[in-house]
Amino acid sequence: MTTLRQAALFALLLPALALSTQAAERISLDGSGWTFKTTLDDKAQSVSVPHSWPASEQYRRYIGRALYEHDFDAPTLRPGQVARLHFDAVYDVAHVWLNGRMIGSHEGGYTPFEFNITKLLKPGANHLVLEVDNTPTLTSIPALAAGVPSNDHKGPYGSGGRITIVGWMPYGGIVRPVNIVVTDAVYLRNMKIDAKPDLKTGIATIHLRAWLHNGGASAATTTVQGEIGTLPVHLKPTRIAANSDAEVSWSGTLRNAHLWSARDPFLYDAKLTVPGDELTAHIGVRDIRVVGTELQLNGKPVHLYGANRVGEDPKEGLRESDAILEHDLNDMLADNMRMMRIAHYPQPPYLFDYADRHGMLIIPEAGNWNMSAWQMADPGIRSTFQKQMKEMMEQDWNHPSVIAWSVGNEYESYTREGIDWTRDMRAYTLSLDPTRLITFASRYTGDPAVKTGADEASQYSDFVSINVYGNYAKRFDHAHQLYPDKPIFVTEFGKMGELGLHDPERIKDITDAVSAMKERPYMIGGSLWTWNDYRSLIKGTPPNGIRSWGVVNIDRERRDSWKVVQKLFETELP
């Protein structure tokens, strides 16, 4: 443990101990110079990356494979340097070639991945090719949904035997930034910083784990150092074998810790370095826990509201710039949207950066969307889900705004397979991050097959999350009867309807829902479906291709319900 006195001593010694370090060199491959071609095209066309092909009217309904190509210049690597090709996200399956050699593949449209390209990267001209496929299958994540509500639960592919495409657009393409990262042979893969306060003493315990990789051909020794808040971090030299990983850890104590909260989202800066590489983060010291039927942030009960936000820009689709996210989140914050299961899939890092700075509470969710029992029992699907869950968590786990992880949405949680899934994915998620709560969005707490809490998978949630449309008071009370000792959060509620800006039916529905939540102390809040209108290919979508669930339309014009929500969502901030 590093005490405050030791921290002060380290601060004096650090300049003498410091090694010569510099940040990794990042070469952006974003922008122009790319070509794009589908299987239906005679010739390729020029595009700018990030690129999301269904954003174009010409490819709005195109499901299939597309080819991206890009010529770029690279610098000469110094001896001992390694280069990685890093993708923030490619939807959904990507096969990648560099200079005529296949370097790897990745499945999962919302999570980052990378390849070591040191041996293939040439000084000067290089040629990059990606084959990208957005075809949904019964075994992809998210999959073609086979779990559909039905009274009799019959059918070979789940309830009712219907197979359904996901409810949002399968935005094929290189949807987030692309970089080449150049470092010394030993670099930092990731770090996880956990800050746990003692609310009585004001002392926070800081735990650091960092993962190193040696991409070189021989063993190497390196030293990790840095700062977390006011605490210097200096670890003993670590020796790492060639082409191997190593994990290091550190603990310290921060006195008079400034707590992060919705009311006061205070952040500490954190930085780790090794020669030639560094990682940075902004962390918050806060305590999130369930006590009886309360969700507590720093010992204070939480009753907050928000909305699900579909990644859907009318011009850019899923290729959302930070400016687009900033505009939406500013408007959501102005509408008193503070706590939300934000979407059915991993989000861009900027969304969490914003939530950290503005005191939003977020429940990220990986892509088990409406899966049936047989899908959740399939070992391959389970493995794919765990891989993408891990990728999402490793990207987002330093954000104080992340209060819980969701292991899915509306899957058949009344089945033995659904219960087993929740138990197992809870255990898996906690093995990676034991500091946060676990939940999932259930639509089956009111199912006739569910007689007691033991009949449904929410028994493994730290707080029960339910998707409810209509008949709110009765359905809230029923969920509470099943789980009388757990808080309840409404992960979805609302009404699809009026196309224009006047939406009296939506206003009535939202008012009924929020009023019923506020009358029940065990209800900790709700996340409206949805913030914005969005395009979809799912059955039941209006002829214009847009599902009008939002308090703003697809062009972000405010409906009458926006002002009503602003008033309804007013609440005391913890």
Q: If pLDDT is split at 50, 70 and 90, which confidence band does 481 have? A: very high
Q: Which two tokens stand for residue 4?
A: 């405050």
Same domain? 502 vs 393: yes
pLDDT tens digits for range 83-124: 999 999 999 999 999 999 999 999 999 999 999 999 999 999
Q: 179 in helix, strand or coil?
A: strand
| The pLDDT value given to residue 454 | 98
Q: What is the mean pLDDT of residues 290-303?
A: 98
| The pLDDT value given to residue 251 | 97
Same domain? 254 vs 270: yes
C-alpha to C-alpha distance for 242 and 235, rounded to whole angstroms:
21
Q: 550 in helix, strand or coil?
A: coil
Residue 159 lies in a domain: no
pLDDT exceeds 90 at position 306: yes
Same domain? 324 vs 284: no
**CB proximity list for 483: less than 8 A, separation 6 or greater:** 453, 458, 459, 464
SS3 annotation, 31-78: EEEEEEEECCCCCCEEEEECCCHHHCHHHCCCCCEEEEEEEEEECCCC
Q: 278 in helix, strand or coil?
A: strand
CB burial of 391-413 (b: ≥16 within 10 Å; e: otherwise) equals bbbbbbbbbbbbbbbbbbbbbbb
Domain count, the chain: 3
| The pLDDT value given to residue 499 | 83
Dihedral through CA 165, CA 60, CA 179, CA 398, nearest 10? -40
| The pLDDT value given to residue 163 | 83
Same domain? 14 vs 37: no
Q: Are 295 and 301 in contact (CB under 8 A)?
A: yes
| The pLDDT value given to residue 148 | 55
Q: Are 463 and 486 in contact (CB under 8 A)?
A: yes
Residue 473 lies in a domain: yes
Q: Domain containing 517 — which CATH number?
A: 3.20.20.80
| The pLDDT value given to residue 22 | 65
Q: Are 59 and 45 in contact (CB under 8 A)?
A: no
Range of the structural domain that residue 90 is part of: 26-140+167-182
Residue 573 lies in a domain: no
Least confident span in 11-15, 98-102, 414-418, 425-429 = 11-15
Which residue type occupies 455? Answer: D
C-alpha to C-alpha distance for 385 and 375, rounded to whole angstroms:
11
pLDDT exceeds 90 at position 338: yes
Cα–chain center distance at 63: 24
pLDDT exceeds 80 at position 13: no
Q: What is the mean pLDDT of residues 199-221?
A: 97
C-alpha to C-alpha distance for 204 and 192, rounded to whole angstroms:
16
| The pLDDT value given to residue 352 | 98
The residue among 232, 258, 288 that closes a domain is 288
Which residue type occupies 509? Answer: D
Same domain? 17 vs 52: no
Residue 153 lies in a domain: no
C-alpha to C-alpha distance for 385 and 108, rounded to whole angstroms:
9
Element of type H or E holding 251? strand 244-254
SS3 annotation, 325-383: HHHHHHHHHHCCCCEECCCCCCCCHHHHHHHHHHCCEECCECCCECCCHHHHHCHHHHH
pLDDT tens digits for range 442-472: 999 999 999 999 999 999 999 999 999 999 9
Same domain? 108 vs 54: yes
Q: If pLDDT is split at 50, 70 and 90, which confidence band does 143 have? A: confident
Q: What is the mean pLDDT of residues 332-338?
A: 98
Mean pLDDT of the chain: 93
pLDDT tens digits for range 506-551: 999 999 999 999 999 999 999 999 999 999 999 889 999 999 999 9
**CB proximity list for 190: less than 8 A, separation 6 or greater:** 210, 211, 279, 394
Same domain? 331 vs 225: no
Q: What is the mean pLDDT of residues 196-216?
A: 97
Phi (first) and psi of residue 569, to 5 degrees: -85, 0
The percentage of the chain sitting over the pLDDT mark of 70, rounded to a whole number, equals 94
Same domain? 382 vs 365: yes
Same domain? 83 vs 14: no
pLDDT exceeds 80 at position 395: yes
Same domain? 178 vs 191: no
The residue among 154, 182, 210 that closes a domain is 182
pLDDT tens digits for range 20-61: 446 789 999 999 999 999 999 999 999 999 999 999 999 999
Element of type H or E holding 264? none
Residue 268 lies in a domain: yes
pLDDT exceeds 50 at position 17: no
Phi (first) and psi of residue 472, to 5 degrees: -65, -55
Residue 361 lies in a domain: yes
Q: Domain containing 72 — which CATH number?
A: 2.60.120.260
C-alpha to C-alpha distance for 436 and 429, rounded to whole angstroms:
9
| The pLDDT value given to residue 232 | 97
The residue among 152, 182, 212 that closes a domain is 182
What DSSP line would sit under 472-510, residue for residue? HHHHHHHHHHH-TTS-EEEEE------SSS--HHHHHHH
Residue 160 lies in a domain: no
Q: What angle do CA 47, 52, 57 make, to 5 degrees?
A: 85
Same domain? 118 vs 213: no
pLDDT tens digits for range 242-266: 999 999 999 999 999 999 999 999 9
Same domain? 506 vs 524: yes
Q: 5 in helix, strand or coil?
A: helix
Residue 305 lies in a domain: yes
| The pLDDT value given to residue 122 | 97
Q: Domain containing 10 — which CATH number?
A: 2.60.40.10
